[in-house]
A and B are shown apart, each in its own frame.
Chain A
Amino acid sequence: MQAAIKYAEIKTSSSGYWGLLLALALIALIGVVGAHHMEVEGHHVSGMNNQIVWGLPHVFAIFLIVAASGALNIASLASVFGKQAYKPLARFSAVLSIALLVGGLAILLLDLGRPDRLIVAMTYYNFKSIFAWNIILYSGFVVIVLAYLWLMMERRMQRWSKPAGLIAFVWRLILTTGTGSIFGFLVAREAYDTAVLAPMFVIMSFAFGLAIMILLLMLSFSLDRRELDMSHLLRLRKLLGIFTASVFYFVAVYHLTKLYGTQNHGFESFILMDGGVYSFIFWFIQIGLGNLLPLALIYAPQLQNSSKSLILACLLVIAGAFAQLYIIIIGGQAYPLNIFPGYIVESSFYDGVVNSYTPSSWEFMLGCGGVTAALLMALLALRVLPVMPAALSAEAR
């Protein structure tokens, strides 16, 4: 019989902790300023235009939404797959997933041309739109995970946490399938229009969410000087390795499939070779720094007990995540639509040319603000709710 896990709120009152919260709050506030400026002045103050209609805010928002779903992974492993080793982190996993999702949704909402029409988005539904489904999936996710969290935390209700965990698990798989399908269902553009984007987003969520979770786990444990045995980190490290390798596999399948058909050769050579900044971001940041280097750090035998190498691997996976989403979202729009095959096309509306995009500081502020708001929510939740285990000691073998 396993001993009951003891949970405790973060208790530190160190200046480092409050300083961190203050910095996060300030950046979140700056994000609000950026969003307000874009709202008042119009989107011409952003780098987005009629060619690149989704920009940096969407990279940040989709990163958070995808990571949110993945952050729930640890809870699912415990509740759905019965892996007891992950159980101490299940509550934190649920809290983090809600915080990340809310941060991402805030960015998406504040980037709308008419954020004041939120009530319209909530009351008018076109059920053929994957976007409309996502509005339901996202709101449902918050409600379901909150209920799941409560069932896990309320002693009398714990037997219900297993079925709730199953519902949350299935829901988030559908949710990330929906997020990937926002792009996968777009038949008009060569970068999209493929079913592989849906499972690719699911596996991306596993890696991105876990990377954030490991970092926050290590951060909050060190803030409170709690015991964190290396065996726990080793388990998470191996998991991150598998997920990162899987992301690489899906990216390879995506590009190989596109490369096979002659019609997509133009797009593929744009991303892989001639795309300038896009090709650089793809090979150097997404693949090199975001996939291969973290894999080397994770699996190098001499680094297995190095927590620094794990921190670096997590940071690199997150950097790779931003690069990957930048390539998918912005690279996919930068490549021109092929409306007139066989012709050289010119127009005042930038037909036939690679579209340019230079993100402005306003949208960068909004994006960063969403990320810090999510982190702030998570860290505050750790202070008021007993969701983090009091210690993760060495396991009895």
Chain B
Amino acid sequence: MKNAPDRQAAQPSRRGFLKGAAAVATTLVAPGIFLYQTGHAASGASDQVRWGLLIDSNALTEADVDACVTACQREHGWSVDSDSTTDAQWVRKVRLEDRESGHRIFLPMMCQHCESPPCVDVCPTGASFKRADGIVLVNKHICIGCRYCMMACPYKARSFIHEDLKDQLAVAPRGKGTVESCTLCVHRIDRDGTDAVPACAEAVNRGDRKAILFGDLNDANSEISRRLRELGGTRLRADMGLNPGVRYQGL
């Protein structure tokens, strides 16, 4: 008799414990499952497509570029303390001023998803890899944190995780001691295919005004291919012959 209330009291706490354990397990396992799916989507990703972005800097204000960065942070759960030299930046706002004319532009700078990515060439374990559809990713399971990819990237697109992380999101598993960069919102692409819109593009596109256009560079009839055909686009560090999947207008 004496023990009964105790046992009853124990019931909800045990349930609570199980709930808590389930929550913890989900938090721990979900990113793994996501990573597993993303990794395996690599074999499912089609080599018929090549995803790319066309960024029109003429259509982007400074506030737009800030919105890109914020959207990416919200989507993938990263943030930057001011003046931190060690925080990761998947996308950054770059302010350019022409040395002669003084003309100023702002543009978002992220992984350029090269056709011949130097980061993939130099990675000793193959953790840096390019999917069949052209998206360059890091397999967090076999990244040893040597940072050679960061030495090799001509675009300074990659970040190393310098400390413990809190509040990770299931769509963007991250890990201290490994390297990461823009995934082109691969989770959206694997979910929505050609209808996918990366978070940065979603943040700045309004109606027909598409300052950041996502699409299939292999499809001659896609909007991105048509716009590139009509108006052209600049590849950053084109001299290196890496053929990035991200192109810029207005440079």
The residues of A with any CB-CB pair to B shorter than 8 Å are 39, 41-44, 49-51, 53-54, 112-115, 117-118, 120-121, 124-126, 128-132, 135, 182, 185-189, 333, 337, 339-340, 342-351, 356
Min distance, Cβ B120 to any Cβ of chain A, angstroms: 8
- Once bound together, how far apart are the Cα atoms of A112 and B124, in whole Å? 12
Nearest-CB residue, chain B, relative to A357: B85
Given known pairs A54-B147, A126-B126, the reply for A351 and B156 (CB within 8 Å) is: yes
With an 8 A cutoff between CB atoms, is B38 at the interface?
no
Q: Contact between B164 and A135 (Cβ–Cβ < 8 Å)?
A: no
Chain B residues, CB < 8 A from A112: 144-146, 177
Which stretch, B22-30, B89-97, B190-198, B209-217, touches the partner chain A? B89-97
**Beyond A118-B144, A120-B144, A351-B109, 11 additional pairs, beta carbon < 8 A:** A53-B147, A53-B151, A113-B145, A121-B125, A124-B142, A185-B122, A333-B151, A339-B156, A345-B95, A346-B94, A350-B85
Given known pairs A129-B121, A131-B146, A349-B89, the reply for A42 and B161 (CB within 8 Å) is: yes
Min distance, Cβ B140 to any Cβ of chain A, angstroms: 10
The residues of B with any CB-CB pair to A shorter than 8 Å are 80, 85-89, 92-100, 109, 118, 120-127, 142-148, 150-156, 158-164, 176-179, 236-237, 240, 251
- Once bound together, how far apart are the Cα atoms of A222 and B134, in whole Å? 63
Task: List 10 tightest A-B contacts by C-beta distance, closest first.
Answer: A113-B145, A113-B177, A188-B154, A49-B85, A42-B163, A131-B124, A44-B162, A124-B125, A53-B147, A126-B126
Nearest-CB residue, chain A, relative to B139: A124
Chain B residues, CB < 8 A from A125: 124-126
Q: Give which listed residue, B85, B109, B178, contacts A51 with CB less than 8 A.
A: B85
- Once bound together, how far apart are the Cα atoms of A41 and B236, in whole Å? 36
- Once bound together, how far apart are the Cα atoms of A49 and B160, in whole Å? 8
Q: Contact between A128 and B94 (Cβ–Cβ < 8 Å)?
A: no
Nearest-CB residue, chain A, relative to B237: A339
- Once bound together, how far apart are the Cα atoms of A41 and B177, in whole Å? 10
Output the residue of B120, B121, B152, B162 with the most chain A CB within 10 A.
B162
Min distance, Cβ B216 to any Cβ of chain A, angstroms: 26
Given known pairs A53-B147, A339-B154, the reply for A347 and B94 (CB within 8 Å) is: yes
Chain B residues, CB < 8 A from A44: 86, 162-163
- Once bound together, how far apart are the Cα atoms of A130 and B237, in whole Å? 23
Min distance, Cβ B238 to any Cβ of chain A, angstroms: 11
**A-B pairs under 8 A by CB, number:** 166
Q: Contact between A117 and B142 (Cβ–Cβ < 8 Å)?
A: yes
- Once bound together, how far apart are the Cα atoms of A112 and B177, in whole Å? 7
Min distance, Cβ A19 to any Cβ of chain B, angstroms: 37
- Once bound together, how far apart are the Cα atoms of A53 and B147, in whole Å? 6
The secondary-structure label for the interface of chain B is loop
Output the residue of B86, B146, B147, B240 with the most chain A CB within 10 A.
B146
Chain A residues, CB < 8 A from B99: 342-344
Output the residue of B151, B160, B176 with the most chain A CB within 10 A.
B151
Q: Give which listed residue, B123, B160, B237, contacts A43 with CB less than 8 A.
A: B160
A-B contact pairs, 14 of them (CB 8 A): A113-B145, A120-B125, A120-B142, A131-B123, A132-B125, A135-B124, A182-B148, A333-B151, A340-B94, A340-B236, A344-B98, A346-B95, A348-B93, A351-B156
Given known pairs A113-B143, A113-B161, A113-B179, the reply for A126 and B125 (CB within 8 Å) is: yes
Chain B residues, CB < 8 A from A340: 94, 96, 236, 251
Given known pairs A42-B176, A187-B154, the reply for A344 and B96 (CB within 8 Å) is: yes
Q: Contact between A351 and B160 (Cβ–Cβ < 8 Å)?
A: no
- Once bound together, how far apart are the Cα atoms of A384 and B227, in whole Å? 74
Q: Contact between A50 and B154 (Cβ–Cβ < 8 Å)?
A: no
Q: Contact between A344 and B144 (Cβ–Cβ < 8 Å)?
A: no
Chain B residues, CB < 8 A from A115: 144
Nearest-CB residue, chain A, relative to B159: A50
Nearest-CB residue, chain B, relative to A188: B154
Chain B residues, CB < 8 A from A187: 118, 152, 154, 240
Q: Contact between B162 and A43 (Cβ–Cβ < 8 Å)?
A: yes
Q: Contact between B92 and A113 (Cβ–Cβ < 8 Å)?
A: no
Nearest-CB residue, chain A, relative to B96: A343
Nearest-CB residue, chain A, relative to B148: A131
- Once bound together, how far apart are the Cα atoms of A40 and B175, in whole Å? 13
Q: Contact between A189 and B151 (Cβ–Cβ < 8 Å)?
A: yes
Q: Contact between A348 and B92 (Cβ–Cβ < 8 Å)?
A: yes
Chain B residues, CB < 8 A from A51: 85, 156
Min distance, Cβ B248 to any Cβ of chain A, angstroms: 10
Nearest-CB residue, chain A, relative to B236: A339
Q: Contact between B150 and A50 (Cβ–Cβ < 8 Å)?
A: yes
Q: Contact between A50 and B143 (Cβ–Cβ < 8 Å)?
A: no
Chain B residues, CB < 8 A from A135: 124
Chain A residues, CB < 8 A from B147: 53-54, 113
Chain A residues, CB < 8 A from B145: 112-114, 117
- Once bound together, how far apart are the Cα atoms of A339 and B177, in whole Å? 27
Q: Contact between A130 and B98 (Cβ–Cβ < 8 Å)?
A: no
- Once bound together, how far apart are the Cα atoms of A62 and B99, in whole Å? 39
Q: Contact between A188 and B160 (Cβ–Cβ < 8 Å)?
A: no
Given known pairs A186-B152, A187-B154, A348-B89, the reply for A343 and B118 (CB within 8 Å) is: no
Q: Contact between A50 and B89 (Cβ–Cβ < 8 Å)?
A: yes
Min distance, Cβ B155 to any Cβ of chain A, angstroms: 6
- Once bound together, how far apart are the Cα atoms of A138 and B142, in whole Å? 21
Q: Give which listed residue, A120, A129, A346, A349, contacts B156 with CB less than 8 A.
A: A349
